Structure formats: structure tokens, C-alpha cells
Amino acid sequence: MTVAPPAFARLTAKMRGRRTALLGLAGMLMVGGGAVAVAQIAGGDRGIAPINASADFAVGDVRVDATGKNAFEARDNGWREAQRLGWAKLYAKTHAGAKGPALSDSVLDGIVSAIVVEQEQIGPNRYIARLGVLFDRARAGQVLGVSGRIRRSPPLLVIPVTWVGNMPQAFEMRSPWQRAWARYRTGNSAIDYVRTAGTGVDTLLLTASQTERRNRHWWRAILDQYGAADVLVPSARLEFAWPGGPVTGHFAARYGPDRELLGSFRIKARSAAAIPAMMARAVARIDGIYTDALAAGLLRPDPSLIIEEPVDEDELPEIEETEDAVTSDDPVVDNDDAPPPAAVSSVAVQFDTPDADAVSAIEAAVGGASGVISAQTSSLALGGTSVMRVTYRGDLASLRAALQARGFNVQEGGGTLRISR
């Protein structure tokens, strides 16, 4: 068996974990107090962990047919062929169909961040698959000659609602609509989606009935829990001509606690087997609706959802300065030397999560670091690399030092951190 180069071997190991997340085999069990609470939270077939929301360049539907001395070599040859084909498609997409320079396999190993298995058939010495290739935005952007920066909206919590007959549901049960949102690569969107796995307390807080409430106090508590500024409610309702027959999907994009309708459309599928593909198309179209609304200035956070509104300095009353005699017994405090309070910031932290216990342990360790206000996993990939949103007081250098003091090895790049032990 041919041994893959180290960079490609690391990529293969990383993708095993991401593929596990794509197949929905990951989930976290949160235990509440009492047997009834445990049953409400853990009962039923719920929860689909969203894939990593990195801003990598994504190229899908790359078809390969490769051979090798054995199944492992055939797969590695197929993945390398996918990298070459994916690079050609990416360059043509960003340069109006132009043919780009041919890159060596070693260069491609450096700019490819992951291989996504969409469909594959593995034989004794043949590999046929439809794959997706993810290119690191910073590294590939330098070769492509395009900017690696994208404009993003404020963080917006997503609650996908599915209508089953006349009954709406969100995370109460798994659905094709929830799965489509979990699989959508939000990193390439201008919308900063806050997606949840739909497990634990999500099933109690993020219900379909909650999306119809307008109580701002309750919404404030929920949005603060998930670190979001407002809420998005994309909905899907399916109509079957007959069981297993043609399907008509009715989709709508709503925004805010008042469920403001930004757009709606219909998509038809020939059979029930085509529902996953229809859902994927619908998510992409709804993302376009939200992106257009952002460009038009319609996705502004609701002021009523802000817990603390800033005070305008012009509205503060003027205070007359008076000179008081200072005696030798009075303590003298020089306010000019007092350090200003450190600003509160938020950063994405990547970390390896071989199992659910590792997620809880690392969250607790990071949350206990000096200056950290909150640490919550925003993208879970058991067996791979997960992403945690860390809110802290101070600058990035102080956070890095605090994490190193907790025993982590910290790497910094592109405004994000990666920790390991």
C-alpha cells in the first residue's frame, strides 16, 4: 500500500471526523435535574450537528473514477484527482472561465483544507465518488489573486421550522429541513448564522411556538444564551401529490421576533427521493434572500432586543467642578493613572473533539481561564475539529497567555485561535 504524504494523511484523518459530523452521528447529551427533565431533553430522535462554518472556498460535485493496487490506494488517487479538478473549477469560477495554472500535488495539499464525501463507491482496486473540495480562503486567495475578506452580518440565530400537516416543529424531531441547514456551508455567506445542534436544552428553548412569541424579555434571554443579536426563521412546508409521488415545497424567509416576511417561493420535486436535493436548493435561495436583505439594510438588529443601550455622552448632565481642600488625612487618588476597563471581545477557537467528554472538558477549561466570560461550542464535529465561540475581556494576546497558563498549546492565525494539549 502506498503511504500518503504527511500533509495528505493529516487531511485524511481530519476528514474522517468531519464526515462523521456530516452523517449526523455526533450529538451531545445534556442532563437536567430530575427524570422528567432528562426524558424531555434526551428523548426522541433529535439533533443534527452543523458542519464547520469556516469561510473556505467550496467546490462541489467533483466526480472521480480512480484505480489503484488496493482500495486504499484507489481512494487516495481519487482524492488527489479531486483536488486537481476542484482547483480547475475554482479558478474558472473566479476568473470568468479562464484556465488556471497547474499546481503540483504538494502545493494543493497545502491549500486544500478538507475533502467532503458526497457519495462514494469503493471496490477492491477502484474508487468512484462525487466529492466536494474545500480550499483555505487565505492560502488559496493568494494564488487566485482575490481577497480573503467577506462582509458579515451581526450574529443571527437560525430556527428552521418545518410544517408537518398543520403542526409546525423546529428541533422537536429531526427533519430534512433541519438537516439541510446543518449541512449548508454558511462560511461562504455574508450572513453570520448561529446554528445549533438541536440537542439538550435546544429542544426546550428553540421550539416552533417560541418563534411565534413577541415577548422581548424572553427573546433577550434566549439570544443572550446563544450569543446572537436577532433571530431568523426559515420555514418549509411540503405538499405530496400522493405518497412517494411529486412534492411541492413552500418556503419562506422570516426575520425577527415579529416574523417579518422577506421573501417566499416554491420548488417542485418529481418524487420523495428528491426531497434532500430540493431542501439544499431552498436553503441556498433563502440564504440569497437574507443576503439581499442585508445589502438593503433590512437586517438591522432590533433595538428592543439589546439588553443595555449605550448612553449618548451629549445627554449626560454637566457636573460643575469644585475645588475642595485636601487635608493630610484624606487619601489621594490619581484617577489619571487608573487603567481603563478592558474591552469585551469575541473570537473563534478551534479544538479537537474525539468524543463528547472532550467537548465538556475543554469548554470548562477554557471557561475557567482568566478574563474569559463565556465559552460555548458553536460548531460540533465529534472525531474532528470543532469551533468554540469565546467571549473574553482584554486583547487577543492576553487571551492567548491565559489559555497557555491553563496548559493549552495555542496557535494564532487569521484572527482565530487553535488550541491543543
How many residues in the chain? 421
- Of the ranges 72-76, 105-109, 230-234, which one carries the lowest mean pLDDT score? 105-109
What type of residue sits at position 375?
A
The domain ranges of the chain are 6-30+56-144, 156-303, 339-420
Strand partners, 254: 233, 261
pLDDT at 236: 92
- The cell numbers describing 47, all together, are 439533533
pLDDT at 393: 83
**Closest by alpha carbon to 52, among 82, 21, 26?**
21
Q: Categorize the per-residue pLDDT at 254 as very low, low, confident or very high, splitting at 50, 70 and 90.
A: very high
Q: Topology of domain 156-303, per CATH?
A: Rossmann fold (3.40.50)
335: left (phi over 0), alpha (psi -120 to 50) or beta: alpha
Question: What is the DSSP annotation of 144-163?
Answer: HT-------PPPEEE--EEE
Residue 116 vs residue 68, higher pLDDT? 68
Quick one: 278 exposed, middle or buried, by C-beta within 10 A (0-12, 13-18, 19+)?
A: buried
pLDDT at 51: 63
Range from 188-192, 231-235, 302-306, 331-335 that averages highest in pLDDT? 231-235
Q: How far apart are CA 191 and CA 289, in angstroms?
A: 10
**Across 367-381, average pLDDT:** 81
Q: Give the count of beta carbons closer than 10 Å to the beta carbon of residue 418.
A: 17
Q: How far apart are CA 335 and CA 363, in angstroms?
A: 37
pLDDT at 404: 87
Question: Which H or E run contains 222?
Answer: helix 216-226
Please say if the pLDDT value at position 53 is more than 70: no
Please say if the pLDDT value at position 229 is more than 90: no
Please say if the pLDDT value at position 57 is more than 50: yes
Residue 297 vs residue 146, higher pLDDT? 297
Q: How far apart are CA 30 and CA 28, in angstroms?
A: 6
CA-based max dimension of the chain: 93
- The cell numbers describing 402, all together, are 491565559
Geometric angle at alpha carbon 403, from 400 and 406, rounded to 5°: 155
**Torsions phi, psi for 415 (to 5 deg):** 80, 10
**Across 38-66, average pLDDT:** 65
Residue 237 vs residue 139, higher pLDDT? 237
**Across 271-281, average pLDDT:** 89
* Strand order across the beta sheet in which 416-420 lies: 372-379, 384-393, 344-353, 416-420, 409-413
**Reduced DSSP (H G I as helix, E B as strand, rest coil) percent helix, strand, coil of the chain, to 5:** 35, 25, 40
Question: What is the DSSP annotation of 24-69?
Answer: T--------SSHHHHHHHH-SS---PPPP----EEEEEEEEEEE-S
Q: Give the count of beta carbons closer than 10 Å to the beta carbon of residue 386.
A: 25
Cβ within 8 Å of residue 392, ≥6 positions away: 344, 345, 346, 347, 369, 371, 372, 373, 398, 399, 402
**Across 366-392, average pLDDT:** 81
**Torsions phi, psi for 256 (to 5 deg):** 85, 165
Range from 139-148, 207-216, 261-270 that averages highest in pLDDT? 261-270
Which pTM does this prediction carry?
0.50
Question: What is the DSSP annotation of 286-308?
Answer: HHHHHHHHHHTT--PPPGGG-SS
Strand partners, 264: 252
Range from 118-127, 140-149, 291-300 that averages highest in pLDDT? 118-127
pLDDT at 147: 54
Architecture of the domain made up of 339-420: 2-Layer Sandwich (3.30)
**Across 189-200, average pLDDT:** 81
Range from 234-248, 324-338, 369-383 that averages highest in pLDDT? 234-248
Q: pLDDT tens across 9-46, in order?
A: 334 434 433 333 333 323 333 333 333 333 333 444 56
Q: How far apart are CA 170 and CA 162, in angstroms?
A: 6
Question: Which H or E run contains 225?
Answer: helix 216-226
